[in-house]
Structure 1
Amino acid sequence: MNLIKQLLTGALLIGIGCAVGFFIIALLISDKRIDAFDAGIISAVGKLESPGLTKVMIFFTTIGAGWPAVLITAGMMMGLYVWVRQRRELILLAAVAVGSAALNTVLKLLFRRARPTLHRIVEATGYSFPSGHSMAAFTLYGLMVFLLWKHIPSAAGRVAMIILGTFMIFMIGLSRIYLGVHYPSDVLGGFLASGCWLTVSIWFYQRYQDRHAR
């Protein structure tokens, strides 16, 4: 029981930390004190451009949001149901995914940051901060790691799952910078906003599970 309380406290503290980090970035954006950070990373990423890498980045950005992400989420839900048959985990996955999309919409309307316009490889509409693709990726693959962790018996399998989840989150976020549709601070802000939402959601879920078990 003490271990569960420690995990819940840790999750809540991580969520608070992500929220603080997000609002620090938001303040730096409003004061235009993050421009040098954005410009430096955009310049570094731009030097990597090549036709082959562009195709790779378009692939990752395509599966990072919209219908591809919906289909991936639905596939995960089906896999969870077939594998572990836990309806509460399916509800958590659906609720967190929908909530992440809704939170991103609210934050974009709140901050109304225009997208970068220099060297845009693909077109994108709407506001820029925080990145919706980054939020969706962090939510989906972060929750995947959480839900599957206890169902994977081997340490090697868990490590492989963490590496896969981290890789997908990183590549989807990087693709938005590479393709010129987001500033790096948009992506980082998306990760932090999603990290806050995800950890707080897990905190409530684990509290419910604990009470249900008792």
Structure 2
Amino acid sequence: MRRSLFEFIYKLRNILAQKFKQYNTNLPYILTVIIALIIVIVGTNLFIELTDTLESETLSSWDTAITDYVLSYRNPVLTKYFMFVTDVGDLYGYLIVLGIFFGVSFFVFKKWKYVLQTTLVLALASVSNVILKRFIDRARPSIEHLVSVETLSYPSGHAMSAMAFYGFLIYLFTQFKMNRFLKIATITILTILLLSIGISRIYLGVHFPSDIAGGFIAGFIWVIFCILLFNIIELFKKDPQTKA
């Protein structure tokens, strides 16, 4: 990702140098951030399109079919598992995982900035989820709830936060220089956990499948934007031309 961004900014700088004899050396970075925002806007449009179809009969039939399929597997063992993972996708779960990741970042990778970045992504997703829920105002499913819920339904806060938090962690671990087997194992566990949190909300009867899809899309938008933004900032700080 960083190499691709560097190559893009380098090409953009060459184009600007050919067009203008003098220009602000920060301009390539400003334009890159604008392009990143455009990507977010495109992703947001996809989210809005899904939101516009919430009342359609087709989506309703899909929600019902998927929900019935997931609920058909209800049993004591799976119920305990999904209750556990749904707790991992809640506030205290994030605090515990964040604490573990802080230890890994500080003592193994010697960089605490990763914890700050992950916290920021999670905070952005959580705050925007509250706003979206109030704006869309969709009620919860009327089926039996295996856990208590008080907020609105769409988009799923668990799915959105899980995609933002664990999705960004997955990205970070793909970038870390570490044992290949350990890297693959960690990414696999985080991916299973991310998907399980989404499925758990359907299994526990507190969300429609479209709530989960909307949450995953919205969370992924924040992941992509923050990855681009953090890498642009990193390149900007190391660029001798911007320092000059």
State if a TM-score over 0.5 links the two structures. yes
Q: 2:206, 2:149 → 1: CA distance?
A: 6
Alpha-carbon distance, 1:184 to partner = 0.4
Question: Which protein has the larger Cα radius of gyration, Structure 1 or Structure 2?
Answer: 2
1:132 aligns with 2:157: yes
Alpha-carbon distance, 1:32 to partner = 5.3
8 Å CA contact retained: 1:73, 1:140: no
Alpha-carbon distance, 1:50 to partner = 0.8
Q: 1:82, 1:64 → 2: CA distance?
A: 25
2:12 equivalent in structure 1: none
Percent of aligned positions that are identical: 26
Q: 1:4, 1:137 → 2: CA distance?
A: 26
What are the within-5 Å matches in structure 2 for residues 143-154 of structure 1? 143-154=168-179
Structure 1 range deviating more: 107-116 or 146-155: 146-155
1:210 equivalent in structure 2: 235
Q: 1:90, 1:7 → 2: CA distance?
A: 27
2:167 equivalent in structure 1: 142
1:72 equivalent in structure 2: 97
Q: 1:94, 1:88 → 2: CA distance?
A: 10
8 Å CA contact retained: 2:6, 2:235: no
1:183 aligns with 2:208: yes
Q: Which amino acid aligns with 2:5?
A: I
Q: TM-score, normalization: structure 1?
A: 0.89
Secondary structure at the aligned position of 2:199 is classed as helix
CA shift digits 1:151-184 (9 cap, x unpaired): 2344444332332221011100000000000000
Q: 1:174, 1:7 → 2: CA distance?
A: 38
Quote the RMSD (CA, aligned, Å).
2.3
Q: Which amino acid aligns with 1:148?
A: F
Q: Is the alpha carbon distance of 1:128 and 1:146 closer, same or farther for their aligned partners in structure 2, counting shifts above 3 Å?
A: same
8 Å CA contact retained: 2:102, 2:112: no
1:19 aligns with 2:19: no
Larger relative contact order (C-alpha < 8 A, sep ≥ 6)? 1
Q: 2:187, 2:79 → 1: CA distance?
A: 26
CA shift digits 1:138-159 (9 cap, x unpaired): 1121111222222234444433
Q: Is the alpha carbon distance of 1:150 and 1:60 closer, same or farther for their aligned partners in structure 2, counting shifts above 3 Å?
A: same
1:102 aligns with 2:103: no
Unaligned runs of 5+ in 2: 10-31, 240-244
Q: 1:15, 1:161 → 2: CA distance?
A: 28
Q: Is the alpha carbon distance of 1:89 and 1:41 closer, same or farther for their aligned partners in structure 2, counting shifts above 3 Å?
A: same
Alpha-carbon distance, 1:70 to partner = 2.0
What are the within-5 Å matches in structure 2 for residues 150-165 of structure 1? 150-165=175-190
Q: TM-score, normalization: structure 2?
A: 0.79
Q: Is the alpha carbon distance of 1:14 and 1:83 closer, same or farther for their aligned partners in structure 2, counting shifts above 3 Å?
A: farther
Give the one of 145, 148, 156 matched to 1:123: 148
8 Å CA contact retained: 2:156, 2:214: yes
8 Å CA contact retained: 2:170, 2:191: no
Alpha-carbon distance, 1:121 to partner = 1.8
Secondary structure at the aligned position of 1:180 is classed as coil
1:53 aligns with 2:53: no
Q: Which amino acid aligns with 1:143?
A: F
Structure 1 range deviating more: 67-76 or 197-206: 67-76
CA shift digits 1:50-107 (9 cap, x unpaired): 1111111111111111222222123212321222122332321121111111111111
Q: 2:209, 2:173 → 1: CA distance?
A: 30
Unaligned runs of 5+ in 1: none
Q: Is the alpha carbon distance of 1:6 and 1:143 closer, same or farther for their aligned partners in structure 2, counting shifts above 3 Å?
A: farther
1:88 aligns with 2:113: yes
Q: 1:66, 1:190 → 2: CA distance?
A: 16
